[in-house]
Amino acid sequence: MTPRFASVALACAAALLTAPRPAQAHPHVWVTMKSELVYAPDGRLTAVKQSWTFDDAFSAYALQGMEKRKDGTYADDVLKPLAEVNVTSLKEYDYFVTGKTATAKIAFKDPVDYFLTYADEMLTLHFTLPLAKPVPAKGAISLEIYDPTVFVSFSFVEKEPVRLVDAPAGCTQQVISPEPPQSAQLSEAFFNSLTSASAYGAQFADKITVQCP
């Protein structure tokens, strides 16, 4: 588990992963997110846009040793390759996003328009997941965002966590956020055994449901 996302995507975070910690200290990275569901003029869902803001501790490790500009920001030649490594490392985990309609699973293409921003000492990863095949809005569509290994904890921002962009009239949405994992009685060995195919993290998935007439 530990060689992925943080250590693969952001090699400078290896110290975070290998530092001594209590066995119950899971998850290790916290992400606050916003999501946008993008619809085409014909009413089909075409893409899901994600904005993930990493906690300040993880952001600091990710940027350790990177040159900061005089105004306290980071240049594109620092953030751009970092963003690319992020999205590349997330492919094994399907970018932590799964979706389905009432009858079928939604397949996504690889991310496009990905980039990192830096503000308030935290990194935010922005990326767009195009649908492999756009799906009609009519009926129910649901999305789940979670890490199957529970290394990363996701939660929606309180204000406007989800937007429906150009959705057909009458569509409604609901956001469901579960209680965070209570891992005090589970060993670090248990979490280290989890993989991208593990089902454990699904019970902590943040969910978006959309219903269109």
Note the pLDDT tens digit of each residue in 75-108. 999 999 989 988 888 888 899 999 999 899 999 9
Farthest-apart Cα atoms in the chain, separation = 53
Q: How far is CA 180 from CA 70, 146, 175, in A?
A: 39, 11, 15
* 32 lies in some domain: yes
HEC secondary structure over 16-32: HHHCCCCCCCCCCEEEE
> Do the strands 172-176 and 206-212 form a parallel or antiparallel pair, or are they unpaired?
antiparallel
Q: How many CA atoms lie within 13 A of 180 on its CB side?
A: 16
* 174 lies in some domain: yes
Rounded average pLDDT over 10-37: 60
* 186 lies in some domain: yes
Most confident stretch, 140-149, 180-189, 200-209: 140-149
Residues 6+ apart with CB under 8 A from 205: 144, 145, 146, 178
Residue from 168, 112, 172 nearest 142 by CA? 172
Q: How confident is the model at residue 185 (pLDDT cuts 50, 70, 90)?
A: low
Determine which of 94-103, 109-118, 186-195 has the lowest per-residue pLDDT on average: 186-195
Question: Across the strands, what pairs with 180?
Answer: none
Domain containing residue 80: CATH number: 2.70.170
Do residues 124 and 54 make contact, with C-beta atoms less than 8 angstroms apart? yes
Percentage of residues in the chain with pLDDT exceeding 70? Answer: 78
Provide the residue range defining the domain that includes 114: 6-212
Q: How confident is the model at residue 56 (pLDDT cuts 50, 70, 90)?
A: very high
pLDDT value for 195: 66
Query: Does the pLDDT of residue 38 top 90, yes or no?
Result: yes
How would you label 142-170 residue by residue, b for 16+ Cβ within 10 Å and e otherwise?
A: bbbbbbbbbbbbbbbeeeebbebeebbee
Percentage of residues in the chain with pLDDT exceeding 90? Answer: 55
* 165 lies in some domain: yes
Q: What is the pLDDT of residues 158-177, one digit of tens each?
A: 999 999 999 999 999 999 98
* 1 lies in some domain: no
Which tokens belong to 108?
């996504």
Q: Which of helix, strand or coil describes residue 61?
A: helix
Q: How confident is the model at residue 65 (pLDDT cuts 50, 70, 90)?
A: confident
* 94 lies in some domain: yes
The torsion defined by the Cα of 93, 206, 40 and 49, in degrees rounded to 10, comes to -60
Query: Does the pLDDT of residue 128 top 90, yes or no?
Result: yes
pLDDT value for 204: 78
Query: Does the pLDDT of residue 194 top 90, yes or no?
Result: no
Domain count, the chain: 1
Rounded average pLDDT over 42-67: 93
